[in-house]
Structure 1
Amino acid sequence: MAEPKGKRDFRDNPRIDIRERHEVAFWAKRWGVTAEQIAAAHKKVGHNVKDIATELGKRR
């Protein structure tokens, strides 16, 4: 049986869905940045977690 949408484990997903608050909040806390910084990096380099991390100067 499938998990509800908000309960899926997104941490292994190679992409960040910028529309999902819980994903943005997780990565913001993990990297020690703001949601706005993630949104700006997302706009610049796309949705790939590794690319966003590199843009922010962080490790995945």
Structure 2
Amino acid sequence: MFARRDDHVTFGEYNNSGAGAWSSSRAKFATKLSSAVSISTVLGSSYSNWVDKSYL
């Protein structure tokens, strides 16, 4: 049997809508966020050194 790989995962959604948004089939570790999260919070403050800004 394989070890679970979602023990330390944070999956958050903010302002999600449409078909399937917050249906009962969401992963147990999914979290509905009350506000948006900045990119530097997710990737760290030095993200601009290694992220291609044309994709932001």
**Which has a greater percent of strand?**
2
Same-fold call, TM > 0.5?
A: no
Using the size of structure 1 for normalisation, the TM-score is: 0.21
Using the size of structure 2 for normalisation, the TM-score is: 0.21
Higher relative contact order, chain-length normalized (CA < 8 Å, sep 6+): 2
Larger radius of gyration, structure 1 or 2? 2
